[in-house]
């Protein structure tokens, strides 16, 4: 039987990502790989992580949209609305832009920037365009007969196919405490230490599994062997 492997919230940490794939002995001929979003921001190598994700999807992996990936798209595709850019900067987008050779002067410690600097910053260069185009193709969830894979979670009462994409990449406590569905939901987005005050993968009593080990903050990058419920990690 092919393994079903899930990884989430890589956040530009290429070294941990590649090491984790080695630890689990990932083989695209024998494994199904699901990547649950947030490939960019905060870490040092967002550009290279996206290159790796594109390579893996070309070989059969399934990559989903995360909220940071969506913020990157919105900031670069909609420069007419400065709030998109400010939101992305505030959430770690500066590290991603630096990865593509952009230089933006900080306005204050919270990563908010001077409005007059934004148009120059938002010019999409030929290096970043293929990654934006790739991210725009990503689905928001993946479903099997027994599992739902999603970045942040699902709405407790709204049918999955009718749920707003925003909810699927941003929801937190309403899902954590309210989900009662029959299918097991595997998700990232919320570091596991916020779910049960421990860094380990969160196996919730209400049929949810949180796998964001806080890699963006120096924590672990987890891989869950979904069918066997085996956990691997790089730190």
pLDDT tens-digit readout, 101-129? 877 665 543 444 444 444 444 556 778 89
Question: CB–CB of 128/136 below 8 Å?
Answer: no
Low-confidence ranges of the chain (pLDDT < 70): 104-124
> What's the confidence (pLDDT) of residue 230?
97
> What's the confidence (pLDDT) of residue 213?
97
> What's the confidence (pLDDT) of residue 22?
98
> What's the confidence (pLDDT) of residue 111?
46
> What's the confidence (pLDDT) of residue 107?
53
For 131-187, give the DSSP string: HHHHHTT--SEEE-SSEEEESS---SSS-GGGS-HHHHHH--HHHHHH---SSEEEE
> What's the confidence (pLDDT) of residue 157?
94
What domains can you pick out in the chain, each with its CATH number? 3-67+135-234 (3.60.21.10), 68-134 (no CATH)
Residues 6 or more apart whose CB falls under 8 angstroms from that of 61 comprise 28, 32, 33, 34, 35, 53
Question: CB–CB of 12/49 below 8 Å?
Answer: yes
């Amino acid at each position: 039987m092919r393994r079903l492997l899930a990884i989430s919230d890589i956040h530009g940490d290429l070294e941990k990502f590649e090491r984790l794939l080695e630890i689990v002995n990932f083989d695209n001929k024998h494994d199904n790989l699901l990547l649950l979003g947030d490939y960019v921001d905060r870490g040092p190598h967002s550009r290279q992580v996206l290159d790796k994700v594109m390579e893996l999807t070309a070989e059969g992996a399934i990559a989903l949209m995360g909220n940071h990936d969506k913020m990157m798209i919105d900031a670069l595709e909609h420069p007419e609305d400065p709030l998109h850019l400010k939101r992305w900067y505030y959430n770690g987008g500066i590290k991603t832009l630096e990865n593509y050779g952009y230089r933006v002067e900080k306005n204050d410690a919270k990563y908010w920037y001077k409005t007059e600097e934004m148009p120059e910053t938002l010019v999409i260069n030929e290096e970043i365009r293929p990654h934006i185009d790739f991210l725009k193709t990503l689905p928001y969830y993946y479903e099997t007969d027994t599992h739902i894979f999603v970045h942040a979670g699902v709405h407790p009462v709204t049918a999955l196919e009718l749920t707003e994409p925003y909810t699927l990449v941003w929801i937190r406590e309403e899902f954590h405490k309210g989900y009662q569905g029959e299918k097991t939901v595997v998700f990232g987005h919320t570091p596991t230490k916020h779910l049960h005050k421990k860094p380990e993968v969160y196996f919730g009593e209400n049929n949810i599994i949180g796998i964001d080990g806080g890699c963006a903050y120096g924590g672990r990058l987890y891989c869950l062997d979904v069918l066997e419920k085996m956990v691997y990690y790089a730190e």
